[in-house]
Structure formats: C-alpha cells, structure tokens
Amino acid sequence: MTPVLETRALCKSFGALTVADTIDFHLGAGARHALIGPNGAGKTTFVNMLTGRIPPSSGSIMLGGADITAASQSERVKRGLGRTFQINTLFRNLTVVDNVALSVAERTDVGGGLFGVASKQKAVVAESMDLLGSLGLADDARATVIGLPYGKQRLVEIAIALGLKPKVLLLDEPAAGVPSLESHRILEVIAALPSDIAVLIIEHDMDLVFRFAKRITVLAQGAVLMEGTPAEIRTDLRVRQVYLGEDHV
C-alpha cells in the first residue's frame, strides 16, 4: 500500500549544524503514529518541513503520491495536510465557532468571498457547529476563545485543524500544558478521530503515546533512531538510553 505521507532522505542543516539527518518516514492511510524524541531531537524542525514553514536542505516529501517538497503551505493544506500547534495558535478575540468556521470556509473555498454575508453561509456554520458538538464544545460556540479555560482552548486548536478535513493530521503535543484533570478530554477526542485520517502525533507524554500509537518513530539528534510498535520501543535499550535517560535503565 502506498503511504499517504512519505519523506525520502529529508535533511536540514543550519550552517554546520544538522538538525534533520536523512529522515525516511512513512505514514500509511489511517495510521496512528507517534513521533518521539528528547528535546532538541529535531521533532519541531521535521514538522515545520512537513508543513512547509521551512524548506528542507535536501530530500523530498510526498503527500498522497505527489511531490510537495517545494509546495507552499496553503498548497499542502489543500492537498489534505492539517496541523495543530504546540503553543496555542488561535484567533483569540474571535468566537469559538468563528475559529472553526474560518478553517471550514477556507477548505470549501468561500473564505475569500467579498460579496455576501458570512452568517448566511449556512453550510459553513452548520458544519462548524457539528464539529464543535462532536468535541463537546457546543455550549461554548458563542464564547470568545480568550475567555475559555486552557483545556478547552486545546480542543479548539484541534477543531480548527479538523475543519480542514485533512487526510493527514499532525498533532504537535496536543496535551501540552493541560492539567491532568482535563487531559482525559483531549485523549478521548484524539482516540475518537475518524479512522480514515492518518494521524501523526508529536508528544512528550509517554503515557499518551503508548495508549494511542500503533507505531512509534524515535528521533535522536536529527536522525531516526528506530521505528517500531509500542512494545518494541518500550523494550529497546537504545531508546531507553537516549530518551528515558540512564536512570531509567
């Protein structure tokens, strides 16, 4: 089966510093894949290359069989690549439903309409409300994002990405900073993601990773250390050494 997202020998260096070293990576349809690695392993750089925020030094990126290495950010989105951000990147002074509707509107190509009234785009509004409902945010739809508790803001972060109906979804530390009491909501949402979306989750929280991922890729010093099932990763000595630290061995 051809992967939906694939990188071939992806490299990135800043001067003498190599932050991504010949990364070969595959993500199959409907995958539940996690990318882990200690701080400075190159996870963020890798994600930024995938989404087109920074260009790779060499190598290529394929999305749905097409080469997107040189494609713009918005072209990648149109081809089905959605992402969330590690640090909340929301429209803070807009309502929750507007946050989602903006992304739904871009996907359905009505977002640039100069003529006509936004609130008469019934399809956009209805889809946004449905999406919020499925995430348990229906009651907050009319609230301003800035007034929401942090855990709910994290859900809005995911909702905006889902509004794009992505084929591939990159979740960048979705539970980062969420108090453990609220984090189960985020876990539930991630667990309930439509099965046809290929999900790549970048996460520090091992608990979450082992519960969610079917496959795990470990990055260390910009290179793939190993890839395997959670069981394989859990028992691998090298992973324990670089990732969990000596004291866990």
Q: Which residues bind another protein (CB under 8 A)?
A: 51, 73-78, 83, 85, 89-95, 97-98, 101-103, 105-107, 110-121, 124-125, 128, 141-142, 160, 163-164
Nearer to another protein, 41 or 141 (CB): 141
Closer by beta carbon to another protein, 137 or else 225: 137
Minimum CB distance to another protein smaller for 52 or for 222: 52
CA atoms within 13 A on the CB side of 56: 25
95, 141 contact by CB (below 8 A):
yes
For residues 177 and 105, the answer to whether their CB atoms sit within 8 Å is no
- Minimum Å gap between C-beta 85 and another protein is 8
Please state the closest distance from residue 161 (CB atom) to another protein, in A: 8
Cα 97 to its chain centre, rounded Å, is 20
Nearest distance in Å: CB 104, another protein: 9
Q: Of 55 and 113, which has the nearer Cβ to another protein?
A: 113
Q: CB 192 → another protein: shortest distance, Å?
A: 22
